[in-house]
Amino acid sequence: MKISLLLSEKKHEIAKTWFDLIAGTYPQDTANFLKTQKNRFGNPVGYTISEGIDVILAELSGEMDVARVSRHLDNIIRIRAIQDFTPSQAVGFIFLLKQVIRKELADEIREHQLCDELLKIESHIDQLANVSFDMYMACREKMYKLRANELRNRTSRILKMSNMFKETDVEEKDPAGF
């Protein structure tokens, strides 16, 4: 028995439990909405998280195509980066997967002595957390740059409108007059 096979067999239970734990990181009203509204257009955040979870679990139980996982992980991280989460809260949902796997597969892991395989899966999860943190920081950096540019543009427009700022060509002259 391999842990990847167990992950595949219990994928739906693991996905549901993990989704519920992720939804629990949101305020109660939002969590309830995420759990009950399944429509892609009515609940794009819940849909994106659910779709990402499915891909991550499929890849963990298979060859682990990092590029494929990264695309879906990036979608989730982008959402969490613009929400009111600290960095650890924004990427911490990845670590919840360890908790879910240990809980859902505990008996099978003990029975089939799969601790070494569990450690390998958990190492992949740690790798995903590192990638997630890098994605989160890149998103936040882009947001701050956009905000700074917008502030600079607004300030420039205000100054132009109030005639306090005039664009002029400054010619540098030689003090000797040449």
What CA–CA distance (Å, rounded) separates 6 from 121?
A: 12
Give this prediction's pTM. Answer: 0.80
Determine the pLDDT at residue 176. 58
- Summarised one tens digit per residue, pLDDT across range 50-76 is 999 999 999 988 878 888 899 999 999
What is the CB neighbour count within 10 angstroms for residue 33?
16
- In 139-169, which positions are buried (b, 16+ CB within 10 angstroms) versus exposed (e)? beeeeeeeeeeeeeeeeeeeeeeeeeeeeee
CA 104, 107, 109, 112 dihedral sign is negative
- Domain ranges for the chain: 3-161
